[in-house]
Structure 1
Amino acid sequence: MGLNKRPITADDLKRISVVGDPQISPDGERYAYVQTHIDENEEYRSHLYIHTLGDDIPVQWTFGKVKDQSPRWSPDGSEMVFSSNRSGTSQLWIMSTSGGEARQLTTLKNGAHSPVWSPNGRYILFSTLMDPDGVPEEETKEDGSKKQKPKPLVVERLKYKSDMRGFHDEKRNHLALYDLKAQKVIQLTSGQFDHTPGSWSPDSKHVVFTANRETDEDRTLHQDLFTIDIESREVTKLTDTTGAFSLPNWSPDGQKIACFGHQYEFKGATLNQVWIIDVDTKEKTCMTLKWDVQIGDAMIGDIRSNSPNPGPVWSLEQEYIYFTASDHGNTGLYQMDMEGEITTIHEEENHVFGFTYHRNTDRFIAGISDPSNPGDFFKIRRNERGKIRLTDVNEKFLREVHLSIPEPVTTKAEDGWEIHGWIMKPADFEDGKKYPLVLEIHGGPHAMYGNTFFHELQLLAAQGYVVLYTNPRGSHGYGQTFVNACRGDYGGRDYTDLMSAVDHVLENFDCIDQERLGVTGGSYGGFMTNWIVSHTDRFKAAVTQRSISNWLSFYGVSDIGYFFTEWEIGYHLFDDPEKLWHHSPLRYVKNVNTPLLILHGEQDYRCPIEQGEQLFIALKHLEKEVKFVRFPEANHELSRSGPPTLRLERLNHICKWFKQYI
């Protein structure tokens, strides 16, 4: 362990500042960003910072017990709009970039989110929940003495709940404008559809947005691009309901739109591509087909959740488009010309979690993390090598703690495929000493472990474990064939990939005590943990988190079960229940002899808590060693963005279980 440095702890989660959403100013001389931390009351707080390029230290612009997010510069740089919950619900606020107090723009009952300034500076596009065909309601203060009487939830939709939003009511996400001249809100879209704001046309006359406006939206699952004329409200459909398109950005000349998307060729395992759509002809061209890489950020981590992605960004003369992509455990920044040729702007063993680009100066401000740093901002020029560090937000914390730096490992699967992963040695590692090993398995399964900061992995290394984490088939980062390979075969080659990786490190690292092995994972990683302990006794302890244990019930209780089951296992419940039961760990529960800790959020609608309940009751009935920990007010995102107190409890339960049984 480093001189005068201490091991990282679970409580250090409260000492890590997380930065994101960089936004460069119109003159290119400074940028704004959001910095989030957990305060002394174990609540999330987010504030806005401004950093003038050339100055050593960024300046904090907002304060208080609030969540300030989504800073966006006015076209002339004189003002900044942002969303904030300082009035109770998230509303739009505006402040002068010369200083002074922020003032509230919207007072909508259901809040306002995701502001986008029009190029002419008159309007701010945003999203808000509205009743179908209703008008934006002004916020009203409830009388605290009046208790709301319970009402039944009447369900008619196939998709009537979602993990982040909970049970759906009749409200839908609609687009609205704040007219700065008239100082009023203007409703832009209507109907029983959800809309996601995109970008403005350069002449400020049209907005491009994403929506599924099909009459049977819950079955089609497509996301189309539309434009809307802000004067006439005429809506034009750009795509043909064959896929999922998102993050649209208008070209500088207003004639084309670039976006991310795919056409579900491999269902949920289909790689994202960059597309260009001609606004007049609606002709769409896939620009990245010859590059077998996932476009966008597929990196798994536990300190940031849903980092804003700018999508494909145009250069000034429209000769290039810039975007992030995920490849072999790294997320980098890339450039594509109009012939589809791709070159690297930044690709190192790290994680580009966000970027902003200034067209006139050809300058990028990129947010970058690696296993030794939760994340900072760096300046990158397109035609210059290297990067220039701009911030050091966790300098004090990183100076105090010892971190384990992962070593890459590559193993051969049973069928000869290469499986990529990493191993982290304990913080107090000594040559000649034996250490227990914990295998970590990521969720998704179509996601990617890689070179980013991961607090949980560092914590386990600090507890004295060798930590192994890999990308078995089904993971992003290794091409379309690889990411598609687990579909219909859950618990097959993906399972043997993981076991091959364990065998490889046991053979090649003398420091591992092969009699003291543990395993854990969440979501798909929880499913795989359940599968492992029901198919082998080689692990001394296991922790399954927000898992799947029974595909038969998952079909009907998960917010995605009615389509995800067919996408991933291959059949619906009513087509081949035996196939679903074959891939269900619950079927093999009598084989479980490994002490198992089950962690699950009460409000998890992605992998509902009944999946953990079934597993617990079966194991308890069989008198197996099992414990069940239920987390109130926690959904599927518990480990990344759940209530801070519960995140800490989760980590402590994991550490305690492994300490007891390994």
Structure 2
Amino acid sequence: MMTIQAAKFTPEVLLSAPRRSPGVPNSTGELVLYTVSTYSFDTHSKTAQIRVLNIKEGTSHLVSEDSAASEPIWISEKEVAYVKGLDNGASALVAQHVLDANETNTIHRFAGSISSVKAKPLSADKVAFCCAALTTPDGQLYNPSAEPKSHTSAKIYDSLFVRHWDSWNTENKNSLWYGQLQKVDGKWTLGNSALTNLLAGTRLNSPVPPFGGAGDFDISSTGIVFVAKDPDLNHARHTKTDLYFVPLSSFLDKPTVPQIVKTGRLLGYSSSPAFSNDGKQVAFLRMKSQQYEADKTRLLLIPDVTDLSNVQEFYETDDDKGGWDLKPDWIVWSHDNKELYVAAEKHARVVLWKLPSSPLEAKSLPAPIHEDGSVAEAKVLGDSSSLLITTRSRVESSNYSILDPATRSVTVVSSTTKQGRAFSLTRSQCQEIWYEGSKGYKVHALVTLPSTFDPSKKYPLAFLVHGGPQGAWGDDWSTRWNPAIFAEQGYVVVSPNPTGSTGYGQDHTDAIQNNWGGDPYVDLVKCFEYIEKEMSYIDTDRAVALGASYGGYMMNWIQGHDLGRKFKALVCHDGVFSTLSQWSTEELFFPEHDFGGTLWDNREGYEKWDPAKYTGNWATPQLVIHNELDYRLPISEGLAMFNVLQARGVPSKFVMFPDEHHWVLKPENSLVWHREVLDWINKYSGISEQE
């Protein structure tokens, strides 16, 4: 298996190190399927592999190293299927024995590109199959090479939602396609030699863009459940997605009309549907508000898919707030269908919880069964009660472990970074603090120390402000904002989770509404004051601050206020220059919620927290990074920041990536990003002078 050993954790090491997917065990729980990729800055090329890990032997076996192969899934105990990209936008589904590369056959070729594949064994030689694909208005797989050549580049719209995330919307939409894989004469084939469009003629689209995937639907022997936006509401101003069920007696049959699952007062996002193992029940999540993307998710159950009118809520309360003050994110059924394992964020960690699978039996709140780092995924191991969990932390990019839910005991199976040692990182670098915030209650912050930390010495401060704003810094791995990268430059990194952050109860999250520069800013001021008073090994006279998205907004807000004079330099990535320009974004429900209405109905609410109002105070050197394809916060925001800084004579630099969106993902671009950011803060903190 691909390995790495680095004497120092640098951006080059971070970006070229193996990136491993969550592990998926086979039906017996003996083999774990996963993908791993690397990038070489020497050859400027990427490698990609599909592999299986033998749990008992601890050995890894190569299945495929075809760079066009992706999204492997189990279709039998020792056979997988994966998607292979072909020329001209086409794709193929390929079957292969994981231990014998000679046992390979192309199941079917498709005119378009399929993705988000799922499979469910029906018998020894039959498998239910479902995938997503971009689909034309007439219900066919979309293939860009088949489009007639246009002699104009004009895009013309007469309704809202003209673009989303990083692309302009077109008439082609996501749809789900299903079929049956069957083994004939030792070869896997596609029944009827075709997939069926589940959503043809329904006006429904699934998965939900821009981030929807296999988590937006599930399949069983009884049919398919999926989530889709309400076709009668404008998607730019409403978050509402409904859950639908299509019963299927056979995956070779044509579909019936999708049946909507009604949930009464809960009208927001529906997400993460999961069939019980026998296909008779469905657990899923739903929010209440249809204009708030960070509302609390409620855990729901359909006890019998033949009766969609009976939907039960876990921990329902009379005040309608729900008895569990955390936000479940995804759901896994136990092997006997008696329990649910649910991931939910708490105090900067994604914790795995256990509860009875029936709301009628869930009298007590869920019990945490894994709280170390962040759980990315959990899968039942065969027919046992054990789980294979994939976890990450600030020093660990991918760890596979076997978890016993009853005893909470954990056995490590495989660690990509050897618990950080491959990067010369250790858990001793990871600390945390609690300090008194703006409203008198405790606010949490993560602290990441250099690997060579000496408490008798002083280190400059790297102060990180997260985006969202309804988000949080977590004890998790990142290839974009990795605190250890800054720590290894010689900083003590403090990452606060102020008002608006998730994982500390819904009230803490909701309190940022109409309050962007209020309590969150005071929380950051108080964090800085705590550092000055209590953390003697931090040199706050050499402090720098960095943030992206809402964190970028806060860099500009800090610039205009007293805290801005505490920092030697600031870094703003894809941030907000003016709240008055928030209606240039694509998901308008976001500013409508966070600023208390439309721009014309509540202009005062937008103006109150506008960083541009305080540009006369801007004086701290600032690096501005903004990307051309960022349609969430258009590039004019970054240009306005830079123009103000330059006009005021403030040392500043502007970095733009024309082929990146809200995030910088391409390895070569990301390396430039890291170098520019580190060069900027190292110059002003004085670290460059020490090198």
Alignment of 1:153-232 (within 5 A): 153-164=155-166, 166-179=167-180, 180-191=190-201, 192-196=203-207, 202=220, 204-218=221-235, 219-230=237-248, 231-232=253-254
- Contact conserved, 1:208 with 1:225, CA < 8 A, in 2? yes
* Structure 2 CA distance for aligned equivalents of residues 262 and 232 of structure 1: 32
Moved segments of 4+, more than 6 Å: none
SS of aligned partner of 2:577 = coil
Once structures 1 and 2 are overlaid, which stretch shifts more, 216-225 or 426-435?
A: 426-435
TM-score (norm 2): 0.86
Residues 192-212 of structure 1, C-alpha deviations (whole Å, 9 max, x = no match): 43212655564x342111112
- Deviation digits for residues 55-78 of structure 1 (CA, Å, limit 9, x no counterpart): 122212110334522x2212x425
Query: Retained in 2: the 8 A contact 1:214–1:220?
Result: no
Name the structure 1 match of 2:319.
Answer: none
- AA aligned opposite 1:184: A
> Which consecutive residues of structure 2, in runs of 5 or more, have no partner in the other structure?
181-189, 208-213, 316-321, 686-691
1:283-309 CA distance string (max 9 Å, x none): 22221432111212xxxxxxxxxxxxx
1:524-583 deviations in whole A, cap 9, x for unaligned? 11111111111121111000011111122221x2122x2111111212112122321221
Could you report, residue by residue, the CA deviation over 1:157-189 in whole angstroms, capped at 9, with x for unpaired residues? Answer: 31121115x111100101112442333222221
Cα distance in structure 2, aligned partners of 1:125 and 1:451: 34
Distance in 1, Cα, partners of 2:343 & 2:677: 33
Give, as a single letter, the amino acid of the residue that structure 2 aligns with 1:52. N
**1:460 is the counterpart of 2:486:** yes
Would you say the 8 A contact 2:113–2:142 is kept in 1? no
The 8 Å contact of residues 107 and 138 in structure 1, kept in 2 or not, is answered as: no
For residues 253-291 of structure 1, the C-alpha deviation after alignment (integer angstroms, 9 at most, x for no partner) is: 443210122112882331222211243142222214321
**Counterpart in 1 of 2:582?**
554
Q: Which residue does the alignment assign to 2:346?
A: 327
SS of alignment partner, residue 514 of structure 2:
coil
Letter in 2 for 1:627: K
Question: Cα 1:545–1:658, aligned 2, differ >3 Å: closer, same or farther?
Answer: same
Q: Counterpart in 2 of 1:398?
A: 421
2:467 aligned residue: 443
Equivalent residues in 2 for 1:36-435, closer than 5 Å:
36-40=37-41, 41-66=43-68, 68-69=70-71, 71-74=72-75, 76-85=76-85, 89=89, 91-100=92-101, 102-120=104-122, 121-136=126-141, 149-164=151-166, 166-179=167-180, 180-191=190-201, 192-196=203-207, 202=220, 204-218=221-235, 219-230=237-248, 231-234=253-256, 235-240=258-263, 242-264=267-289, 267-278=292-303, 279=305, 280-288=307-315, 289-296=322-329, 311-337=330-356, 338=358, 339-340=361-362, 341-344=364-367, 346-358=369-381, 360-395=383-418, 398-399=421-422, 401-402=424-425, 405-435=429-459
Contact 2:335 2:380 in 1 (8 A): no
Q: CA separation of 1:250/1:400 partners in 2, compared to 1, >3 Å: closer, same or farther?
A: closer
Alignment CA distance shift 1:253-1:5 (3 Å): closer
Aligned partner letter, 1:210: V
Distance 2:630 2:143 in 1: 31
How far residue 140 of structure 1 moved from its aligned partner, in angstroms, is 5.2
Counterpart for residue 615 of structure 1: 641
Trace 1:517-532 onto structure 2 (pairs within 5 A): 517-532=543-558
CA deviation after TM superposition for structure 1 residue 139, in Å = 7.9
Question: Residue deviations 1:617-648, cap 9 Å, x none?
Answer: 1222222222111012111121xxx1111111
**More displaced 10-residue stretch of structure 1: 279-288 or 88-97:** 88-97
Aligned to 1:594: 620
- 2:70–2:82 Cα contact (<8 Å) kept: yes
Distance 1:18 1:242, change over 3 A: same
Q: Which residue of 2 aligns with 1:21?
A: 22
Alignment check: 8 A CA contact 1:266 1:484 kept: no
CA shift digits 1:412-453 (9 cap, x unpaired): 013212110122233443343322111001111222212223
- Matched residues in 2 for 1:63 and 1:379: separation? 27
Q: Deviations over 1:475-520 (max 9, x none)?
A: 1111111111111100100001011111111111112222211100
Between 454-463 and 596-605, report the one with greater CA deviation. 454-463
Amino acid at match of 2:396: N
* Displacement of 1:87: 5.1
Aligned equivalents of 1:104, 1:497: Cα separation in 2: 57
Residues 19 and 37, structure 2, Cα contact 8 Å, conserved in 1: yes
Post-superposition offset of 1:367: 0.6
The answer (yes or no) to whether the contact 1:293–1:478 under 8 Å persists in 2 is yes
Q: Distance in 2 between matches of 1:373 and 1:252?
A: 32
The CA RMSD over aligned residues, in Å, is 2.5
Question: Partners in 1 of 2:341 and 2:240 — Cα distance?
Answer: 25
CA-CA distance at 1:395 after TM superposition:
4.0
The 2-side partners of 1:264 and 1:509 are apart by 41
Residue 521 to residue 576, structure 1, CA distance change in 2 (3 Å): same
Tell me the CA shift for residue 220 of structure 1: 3.5
In structure 1, distance between residues paired with 2:437 and 2:217: 45
**What residue in structure 2 maps to residue 302 of structure 1?**
none
Structure 1, gaps ≥5 residues long: 297-310
Q: SS state of the match for residue 387, structure 2?
A: strand
SS, match of residue 659 in structure 1: helix
The range that moved more, 533-542 or 208-217, is 208-217
Q: Which amino acid aligns with 2:374?
A: H
Note if contact 1:249-1:259 (Cα within 8 Å) is conserved in structure 2.
yes
Aligned positions, number: 633
| Partner Cα separation in structure 2 for residue 105 and residue 533 of structure 1 | 58
How far does residue 319 in structure 1 lie from its aligned partner after superposition? 1.8
Equivalent residue of 2:293, what SS? Answer: helix
Q: Distance in 2 between matches of 1:376 and 1:110?
A: 35
TM-score, reference length from structure 1: 0.90
Give CA deviations for 1:49-107 in whole Å, capped at 9, x if unaligned.
Answer: 111220122212110334522x2212x42531223436574653322345235444454
1:109 and 1:570, CA in 2 relative to 1: closer, same or farther beyond 3 A?
farther
Taking the aligned partners of 2:430 and 2:47, their CA distance within structure 1 comes to 31
Query: Which amino acid in 2 is paired with 1:414?
Result: S
What SS does the corresponding residue of 1:176 show, helix, strand or coil?
A: strand
The alpha-carbon deviation at position 38 of structure 1 amounts to 1.8
State the percentage of identical aligned residues.
23
Query: In 2, are the aligned partners of 1:19 and 1:376 still within 8 Å (CA)?
Result: no
Separation in structure 2 between the aligned mates of residue 390 and residue 96 of structure 1, nearest angstrom: 23
Residue equivalent to 1:483: 509
Residue aligned with 2:501, SS: coil
Separation (CA, whole Å) in 2 of partners of 1:396 and 1:251: 34
Q: Secondary structure at the match of 2:632?
A: coil
